[in-house]
Structures are given as structure tokens and as C-alpha cells.
């Protein structure tokens, strides 16, 4: 297996989380934490029926026709090369690509009987050809080989998360020992190290709980108890292991929304807890640069909606895939928008005094 060949390091960090609503909606969300977005990045609708290549510029790439329409953020590099960083297709299959720095390895050539597949093309290819996680697993194991073929001069180190309406979340990781598909995961993915390492590291935090604990006596004096003591010791930095632990803890104890609107809103709140703020994650180099959460996306496998916010604009926007299915040409929607602030003066109502009952508690 060959290592990635790149013209620059890939220090980016990303986080992904799967979650369910109380009424059974299946959600997948992610932060894209990076120094910036490639020119042309937008929310893309790619219709079914278009022709595309799985390994552009190599002369050996397979020519395919999309069976399913897909919606997500990415690039349209050419009519035959749509790329998605994450997305959902018309069957409810969802997925996202995250950086897998220093550990990603790809084959020098495709296995006999399989088509070469460039890493940045993998996610769109699965969404265009597969209806379920099971179909995606079969395609990767039997019909395609991830190859170390540069695209725009780079071979980015990647791993992937997939989910469908069955609720299963799958992690796909290429390393020196081949391509691994981890089934029935804990529903969280960040960056390097590999997924098995994160599971072992997670065991170090088995004592974390949602219930506050009374403080023990210290030197014979009672120690005061504070809110959040059940989660005392939860790591708070932005490294990949710490983000993995935080999301796993939140996935276990955070209360899900009753339906899609409340579930999506609460999921954005969870992803904010691991998003890179602009400034503290500074990169070493000749020019100032910082990784930050350029955008956060949440996808629903049932409604087929793609929701997103950006760093500067926290208003939740969405595009509805079913409404686009009659369209036979690709469409783009602007990803970034200026900050928006809503003035609520027009909503003001005359104040009403509240009568306090004898047994009523006042909260700060």
C-alpha cells in the first residue's frame, strides 16, 4: 500500500456524529474544520443519470452512470467529476469524508476485476451507486480499489463514515493492512489515530456519568459540589481523541429531539462542542493560518434534507432533495452567507406581572 503523496500537510480536523430522534428519524452530522474552503465549494445537487469517472486523469478510470441523485457540499470540478465532502442520496444513504492524517494508505494499482477509485471520489461514487450501507460495503470489498492516484496534484489522506435508514453507522478506513469496514460502531468519528484505537481510549473514561456527585471531604473539610461533576475529567481540547470522547459522551447522555426539527437543532448544539473556534488552532508556517469549523452539516435519512450553518452565520438553512429530483441538471446553492441578526422589537408585547405562588421556587 502506498502512502498519500501531497504537496502540503493535512493538519485539518473534522468530527462526525450519528444520532436518532425520538420518533425514529436517522441523522448524520459533521463539522468541517480546515484552514479554508476550495474555490467553488457549494451545496451541490447532482442528479441521477449523469456520467462520471471514478479515477479522473489516470487513463484507467471507470466510466459510470449515477443510479441515484445526491445532495451535499462539495465541488463540481468538471461535468464528469462531482466531488462531495458529505451528502445524502435519494434512498437515504448518507456519508462524509474526514481527514486521516499520516495513516491513510492506498493501493498502487486496482485489484484484478475491480475499478480504480480515487479517495476524493469515493463518497460521491457510493451515493451515486448504492441505496444502503450493505450495498456500499459490497461495492468497496468486491468492485472497487482505492488507488494512490493524484487529483489536482494531491492524494488526500481520508477515512469515511456511512449511515442509512437502518440506523447502522459504518466507518471505512484504509491503512497499511488494507481497507477496513467497521460495522455497528459507536456512531462517532474524528481523525487519526484509527477507529480501533479510539475505542480502546474510550475505555479510559468509563467512569463518566450524567449524574452530579457530592464532593468528598478534603483534609477533613466538606468540599462543595458543583454542577457537571458527573462529567468531571471529560477532555476539553480540540485534539482528535478528545473530540471523539466528548461526542461519545454526548451521544450517550444528551436528550434527543422529539422530531426532526428539534433533533436537528439539538444536534447542531452537540457539534458546536467539538467545533474549532477561529484562533486557538494555529498552524505552523510562513503565513498566519488557523483551522476553524468552516461549516457544520446535518443530514436526515428520511426527509432527505441537508441542513447547514457556517462559522459566521449560525442560522440553520436547508435544501430539500425530494423537491429537486425532477431536475436533470446539477444545481448549486451558496454555502456561505453574511452574518444575520433578527431584531425582535416588532414581536414585543405589553409586560405581564407574574403572581408568585406560595410553593413556587424561583430559579436564577
Question: Under a CB-based contact definition with an 8 Å cutoff, are residues 54 and 316 in contact?
Answer: no
Mapping DSSP to helix (H, G, I), strand (E, B) and coil, where does residue 12 land? Answer: coil
Question: Under a CB-based contact definition with an 8 Å cutoff, are residues 74 and 83 in contact?
Answer: yes
Q: DSSP per residue over 277-340, as a string?
A: PTTTSBPPSSS--B-EEEEEEEEETTT-EEEEEESS----EEEEHHHHTT--S-EEE-------
Ramachandran region, residue 113 (left: φ > 0; alpha: ψ -120 to 50; beta: rest): left
Q: SS3 breakdown of the chain: % helix, strand, coil, rounded to 5?
A: 20, 30, 50
Buried b (16+ CB within 10 A) or exposed e, 173-203: bbbeeebeebeebbbbbbbbbbbeebeebbe
Question: Under a CB-based contact definition with an 8 Å cutoff, are residues 316 and 289 in contact?
Answer: no
Q: Cell match 450493505: residue?
A: 134
> Between the CA of residue 323 and those of 19, 298, 303, 326, 327, what are the distances in Å?
24, 18, 11, 7, 9
Q: Cell match 431536475: residue?
A: 327
DSSP designation for 59: S
C-alpha span between 309 and 290 (Å, rounded): 19
Question: Under a CB-based contact definition with an 8 Å cutoff, are residues 43 and 308 in contact?
Answer: yes
Q: Determine whether 55 is an active site residue.
A: no
Which of 152, 158, 197 is closest to 179 using CA atoms?
Answer: 158
C-alpha span between 74 and 44 (Å, rounded): 6
Catalytic residue among 14, 55, 148, 300: 14
Mapping DSSP to helix (H, G, I), strand (E, B) and coil, where does residue 212 land? Answer: coil
Enumerate the active-site residues: 14
Amino acid at each position: 500500500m502506498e502512502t498519500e503523496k501531497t504537496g502540503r500537510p493535512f493538519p485539518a480536523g473534522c468530527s462526525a456524529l450519528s444520532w436518532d430522534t425520538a420518533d425514529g428519524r436517522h441523522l448524520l452530522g459533521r463539522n468541517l474544520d480546515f484552514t479554508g474552503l476550495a474555490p467553488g465549494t457549494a451545496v451541490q445537487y447532482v442528479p441521477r443519470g449523469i456520467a462520471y469517472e471514478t479515477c479522473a486523469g489516470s487513463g484507467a478510470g471507470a466510466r459510470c452512470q449515477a443510479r441515484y441523485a445526491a445532495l451535499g457540499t462539495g465541488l463540481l470540478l468538471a461535468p464528469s467529476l462531482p466531488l462531495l465532502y458529505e451528502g445524502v442520496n435519494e434512498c437515504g444513504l448518507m456519508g462524509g469524508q474526514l481527514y486521516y492524517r499520516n495513516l491513510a494508505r492506498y493501493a498502487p494499482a486496482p485489484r484484478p476485476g475491480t475499478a480504480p477509485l480515487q479517495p476524493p471520489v469515493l463518497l460521491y461514487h457510493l451515493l451515486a451507486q448504492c441505496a444502503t450501507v450493505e450495498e456500499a460495503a459490497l461495492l468497496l470489498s468486491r468492485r472497487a480499489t482505492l488507488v494512490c492516484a493524484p487529483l489536482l496534484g494531491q492524494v488526500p489522506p481520508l477515512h469515511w463514515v456511512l449511515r442509512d435508514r437502518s440506523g447502522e453507522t459504518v466507518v471505512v478506513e484504509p491503512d497499511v493492512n488494507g481497507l477496513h469496514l467497521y460495522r455497528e460502531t459507536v456512531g462517532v468519528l474524528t481523525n487519526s489515530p484509527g477507529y480501533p484505537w479510539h475505542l480502546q481510549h474510550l475505555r479510559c473514561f468509563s467512569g463518566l456519568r450524567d449524574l452530579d456527585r457530592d464532593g468528598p471531604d478534603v483534609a477533613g473539610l466538606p468540599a462543595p459540589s458543583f454542577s457537571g461533576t458527573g462529567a468531571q475529567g471529560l477532555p476539553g481540547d480540540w485534539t482528535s481523541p478528545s473530540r471523539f470522547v466528548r461526542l461519545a459522551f454526548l451521544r450517550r447522555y444528551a436528550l434527543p429531539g422529539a422530531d426532526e426539527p428539534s433533533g436537528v437543532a439539538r444536534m447542531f448544539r452537540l457539534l458546536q462542542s467539538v467545533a474549532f473556534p477561529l484562533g486557538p488552532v494555529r498552524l505552523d508556517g510562513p503565513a498566519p493560518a488557523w483551522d476553524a469549523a468552516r461549516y457544520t452539516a446535518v443530514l436526515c435519512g428520511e426527509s432527505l434534507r441537508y441542513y447547514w450553518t457556517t462559522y459566521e452565520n449560525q442560522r440553520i438553512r436547508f435544501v430539500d432533495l425530494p423537491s429537486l429530483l425532477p431536475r436533470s441538471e446539477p444545481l448549486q446553492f451558496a454555502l456561505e452567507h453574511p452574518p444575520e441578526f433578527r431584531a425582535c422589537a416588532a414581536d414585543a408585547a405589553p409586560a405581564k406581572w407574574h403572581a408568585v405562588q406560595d410553593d413556587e421556587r424561583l430559579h436564577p
